[in-house]
Structure 1
Amino acid sequence: MTAIIDFLNTIFWSYVLVYGLIAVGIFFTIRLGFVQFVHFGEMFRVVRGSDKNDKSGITPFQALTTSLASRVGTGNIAGVAVALYLGGPGAIFWMWVVALVGMATAYAESTLAQLYKVRNKEGQYRGGPAFYIARGLGAPWAGGIFSVCLILAFGLVFNAVQANSIADAMQGAFGFPKIGTGIVVAAITGVVIFGGIRQIARVAEIVVPFMAGAYLLMAVVVLIMNITEVPGVIGLIFSSAFGLSEAAAGFTGGLAAAMLNGVKRGLFSNEAGMGSAPNIAAVATPDPHHPSSQGLVQALGVFIDTILVCTATAVLILLSGALVPDSGVTGTQLTQAAMQEHIGAAGVYFVALAIFFFAFTSIIGNYAYSENAMTFLGAGTGIPIAILRAAVLLMVVWGAYETVATVFDAADASMGLMATINLIAILLLSGTVAKLTKDYFDQKKAGERPTFHAANYPELQGQIDQEIWSERQ
């Protein structure tokens, strides 16, 4: 079994997804007229004006912060450090590239999730890739496979990984026992997730801006403290991106190492194209009342995750001088060493607390995705959801003190399969995304407030919920 899992991960993560996600991002960037650049300002406008919801949904801002809760995790702290250690400073340039093209992919998948959303038995919005695969492509079997993979990977195993990161950080910085940390994290998680997606959204809209803001503020302080060195660091990132200064700096691998590690870590962090964030995008009540507006919100999420938060970690490390080739110091240890250089012993505690907040919010965000998948499988309320919530809490406690590589590798394989299914689906539905995008911005140009009119999409008859889209909620 281990050999099969390793083979699948090699296929998915060395070939299909690394190249496939970039190719799909470039495809949507071109087909949608460079939407993430031309209409970058609109992303902020749809978030800033999104203070409305209804009894069925959450606000777009809550959907953004919940998706960021999942996106912004230990990968933004430890993952960036690994990318720098293995790929050199140039890896950050390639993280930027994959994020910028990935914004178009995130826009496409979240727009589709909005379009094909439904109401569950409790009258709340649910949706995501499984729904647009089943309703838009007529392939419910593929939607079922996607849902199972999402629950296994995001709902269960990856939450154990996040708990393990919290436990390691708390033990290393404060000496807390791992099992105790696991129980405390599980208790806090239970309070949140047993309140459902609405409760998760309420917590996320408070905690995520706080944690991301505090982390970015620290990066700004460090930038100011080292302002004269900043131009040199930026220059090093660009020159190293193409292998021009790796040898002099002591890094090996040149362009290939920088590109591979930057791309892989960028994809793992921002999740664009993975099919995860659309699950919460579908739960929002869009404002304006058009599927594209929620696509724009989630594209902004990719920008915040990688261009802002990941870059903050990279700058903190590169300005510290703690990055030493072949030193063996990488991951969380490298980020902690960098912060220690900047602010002394307090740096170790700061990174530990950052990991706690980043990983904890990832746990509740990942759970929100899996609840949507349960709805698709017809088990979105009552006892099945209670069982899922209990299983998540058990995985948090287990993950805090136990690491089993084979289980984590299996989760990677599950995520690889769901991402592959999602990429194929959004490519097949790209015509619908293009039509929605043109409709949205044509209305904007005409001075109108963009509104989705189902009558203009006769080809979607029988595929979308006409009641949801018939009038402004």
Structure 2
Amino acid sequence: MNVNEILDMISGFVWGPPFLILLVGTGVYLTFRLTFLQFKTLPYALKLVFTKNQDKKSEGDISHFQSLMTALAATVGTGNIAGVATAVVVGGPGAVFWMWISAIFGMATKYAEAILAVKYRTKDERGEMAGGPMYYIERGLGWKWLAVLFAIFAAVASFGIGNTVQSNSVADVLQENWSFPYWATGIILMILTGIVIIGGIKSIGRVVAFIVPIMAVFYVIGGLILILFNFDLVPSAVSLIFTDAFTGQAVAGGAIGAVIQMGVARGVFSNEAGLGSAPIAAASARTDYPGRQALVSMTQVFIDTIIICSITGIALVMGELYLDANSDVDGAALTSATFEMFLGPVGAFIVSIGLVFFAYSTMLGWSYYGERCIYYLTKKPSSIMVYRIIFVAAIFFGAILELDTVWAVADIMNGLMAAPNLIGLLGLSGIVAAETAFFLQKKREEERKL
């Protein structure tokens, strides 16, 4: 048994049914504890995202919108294109349904993460906000050892799923479509990333607030055009997604468990609800109440999975290319082939360009997550610059090397960082409920004054 096989075995254990049940179960528990908050407040939350006159007097480094875009930058990535395709190939069309289910409950999880991140945040020596699971685990639960574990796992994960695997994906797609050299992609990404992250969260916030909406709208419009131009295929595709979700007929042997596992796993991998990454960005937002920023953060799951992943999933089921047992096309290549089948070369271009920008923005978002974790562990501002230099250098190696081992380690680290975070969320669920009740009361008072 080689190293990769051992790592794959560990990853399979970490992301096995017990852990996925804990992830989704936490969302279900919080949904009931918060009396289905995500259903009642989503319209108001979406309105907050796009409100221009945001509170500039409150503490924080960036706006609600910039904070959300930073979190979306880190989550809207290869998972929305390659991850959904993998879920459909392995789990069948029904996996898309279970992605939706994980997202619905994941919204409550994301809300809880953000409200705790803002409540327990603090200022670092440079006057910038520092927050996230490591802070609410230490300051809320009083378990510093668990907070340290989270920070270590997240810092390591930032070099995997947040760095090298992203630059590798970009290098692959540029080489495949335009014969662009791997080394050239690595150098360009190093420069473009370094220029942005050197300025910290304010610089990252400004850039992703510009890039993320454009790249998301670009991909969504392309996907909607595909769906609308072939709308006669949509009813049967959606029907198959729902029926296969409970029968597993598209999976060998009708393994319904495989359908659920792949759908939930890829859903969580895409929107990161419960992993503990996004609340690090939420902690930097300017906001008067933790609950207000939490509602904004909650919309991340809706945009990422309910909108973007749904477009990819429905298109894949419509195309039926996943049914070809003799084909070795998978991941982003399958999504690209599906778009090309319906839209011609333009379809492949949409997926390729979308993947490039999705991956680049992911590196920007995760660079901030990693540096916050490094600062928490060292308490030295100088360590942040050291981390940024190493992070940028790793981008080049990610572009030119084979990364099977890195992918496996990244999977494991993501699962391990989620465990302390979920413990923190469950242990502090009473605080989440109390802060929510307080904010909703203030919100009602504001509405009465209008």
**TM-score, length-scaled by structure 1:** 0.90
Q: Is the 8 A contact 1:130 1:146 kept in 2?
A: yes
Residue in structure 2 matched with residue 46 of structure 1 by the alignment: 48
Displacement of 1:388: 0.7
Q: Which moved more, 1:157-166 or 1:424-433?
A: 157-166
Displacement of 1:242: 0.8
Residue in structure 1 matched with residue 210 of structure 2 by the alignment: 206
Q: Which moved more, 1:338-347 or 1:323-332?
A: 323-332
Q: Is the 8 A contact 2:165 2:406 kept in 1?
A: no
User: Any residues of structure 2 matched to 1:328-367 within 5 Å, and which?
Assistant: 328-367=328-367
Displacement of 1:223: 1.9
**In structure 1, how many angstroms separate the alpha carbons of the residues matched to 2:253 and 2:205?**
44
Residue in structure 1 matched with residue 443 of structure 2 by the alignment: 444
Residue in structure 2 matched with residue 261 of structure 1 by the alignment: 262
Residue in structure 1 matched with residue 29 of structure 2 by the alignment: 27
3-state DSSP class of the match of 2:16? helix
One-letter amino acid of the counterpart of residue 183, structure 1: I
**In structure 1, how many angstroms separate the alpha carbons of the residues matched to 2:448 and 2:62?**
20
Displacement of 1:7: 5.1
Residue in structure 2 matched with residue 308 of structure 1 by the alignment: 307
Change (3 A) 1:149 1:224: same
Q: Is the 8 A contact 1:102 1:302 kept in 2?
A: yes
User: Any residues of structure 2 matched to 1:118-133 within 5 Å, and which?
Assistant: 118-133=122-137
**In structure 1, how many angstroms separate the alpha carbons of the residues matched to 2:380 and 2:271?**
26
Displacement of 1:325: 4.1
3-state DSSP class of the match of 2:61? coil
Displacement of 1:11: 2.9
**In structure 2, how many angstroms separate the alpha carbons of the residues matched to 1:328 and 1:6?**
20
User: Any residues of structure 2 matched to 1:284-303 within 5 Å, and which?
Assistant: 284-286=285-287, 289-303=288-302
One-letter amino acid of the counterpart of residue 420, structure 2: I
One-letter amino acid of the counterpart of residue 366, structure 1: W
Q: Is the 8 A contact 1:120 1:380 kept in 2?
A: no
Displacement of 1:252: 4.8
Q: Is the 8 A contact 1:127 1:279 kept in 2?
A: yes
Q: Is the 8 A contact 1:242 1:254 kept in 2?
A: no
Residue in structure 2 matched with residue 169 of structure 1 by the alignment: 173
Displacement of 1:318: 2.2
3-state DSSP class of the match of 1:323? helix
One-letter amino acid of the counterpart of residue 238, structure 1: F
One-letter amino acid of the counterpart of residue 16, structure 2: S
* Deviation digits for residues 194-244 of structure 1 (CA, Å, limit 9, x no counterpart): 111110000010100000001111111112201222111111111111117
2:110 is the counterpart of 1:111: no
**In structure 2, how many angstroms separate the alpha carbons of the residues matched to 1:329 and 1:280?**
35
Residue in structure 1 matched with residue 97 of structure 2 by the alignment: 93
Change (3 A) 1:449 1:354: farther
**In structure 2, how many angstroms separate the alpha carbons of the residues matched to 1:316 and 1:4?**
35
Displacement of 1:426: 0.8
One-letter amino acid of the counterpart of residue 345, structure 2: A
Q: Which moved more, 1:15-24 or 1:93-102?
A: 15-24
Q: Is the 8 A contact 2:160 2:407 kept in 1?
A: no
3-state DSSP class of the match of 1:242? helix
**In structure 2, how many angstroms separate the alpha carbons of the residues matched to 1:403 and 1:109?**
34
Q: Which moved more, 1:226-235 or 1:319-328?
A: 319-328
Structure 1 portions without partners, runs of 5+ = 451-473
3-state DSSP class of the match of 1:272? coil
Say which of 157, 172, 190 aligns to 1:153.
Answer: 157
* Deviation digits for residues 62-117 of structure 1 (CA, Å, limit 9, x no counterpart): 00011000010001001101111111111100000000000000000111000001
Higher helix share: 2
One-letter amino acid of the counterpart of residue 285, structure 2: A
Q: Is the 8 A contact 2:160 2:409 kept in 1?
A: no
3-state DSSP class of the match of 2:126? coil
Q: Is the 8 A contact 2:222 2:350 kept in 1?
A: no
Q: Is the 8 A contact 1:116 1:136 kept in 2?
A: yes
**In structure 2, how many angstroms separate the alpha carbons of the residues matched to 1:131 and 1:83?**
34
Residue in structure 2 matched with residue 468 of structure 1 by the alignment: none
3-state DSSP class of the match of 1:33? coil
Residue in structure 1 matched with residue 402 of structure 2 by the alignment: 403
**In structure 2, how many angstroms separate the alpha carbons of the residues matched to 1:56 and 1:20?**
32
Displacement of 1:407: 3.4
Residue in structure 2 matched with residue 467 of structure 1 by the alignment: none
* Deviation digits for residues 382-431 of structure 1 (CA, Å, limit 9, x no counterpart): 3x112111111111100111124333322322222210010001100000
One-letter amino acid of the counterpart of residue 356, structure 1: V
* Deviation digits for residues 118-168 of structure 1 (CA, Å, limit 9, x no counterpart): 111111111000000111111222211211111111245641000000000
Displacement of 1:324: 1.9
Displacement of 1:17: 2.5
Q: Is the 8 A contact 2:79 2:266 kept in 1?
A: yes
2:61 is the counterpart of 1:60: no
One-letter amino acid of the counterpart of residue 218, structure 1: G
**In structure 2, how many angstroms separate the alpha carbons of the residues matched to 1:156 and 1:409?**
9
Q: Is the 8 A contact 2:137 2:146 kept in 1?
A: yes
Say which of 219, 223, 231 aligns to 1:219.
Answer: 223
One-letter amino acid of the counterpart of residue 133, structure 2: P
Change (3 A) 1:223 1:156: closer
One-letter amino acid of the counterpart of residue 332, structure 2: T
**In structure 2, how many angstroms separate the alpha carbons of the residues matched to 1:385 and 1:346?**
41
**TM-score, length-scaled by structure 2:** 0.94
2:84 is the counterpart of 1:83: no
**In structure 1, how many angstroms separate the alpha carbons of the residues matched to 2:8 and 2:266?**
19
One-letter amino acid of the counterpart of residue 42, structure 2: F
**In structure 2, how many angstroms separate the alpha carbons of the residues matched to 1:344 and 1:414?**
39
3-state DSSP class of the match of 2:35? coil
Q: Is the 8 A contact 2:165 2:403 kept in 1?
A: no
Q: Is the 8 A contact 1:157 1:395 kept in 2?
A: no
Q: Is the 8 A contact 1:58 1:201 kept in 2?
A: yes
3-state DSSP class of the match of 2:322? coil
Change (3 A) 1:142 1:348: same
Q: Is the 8 A contact 1:192 1:203 kept in 2?
A: yes
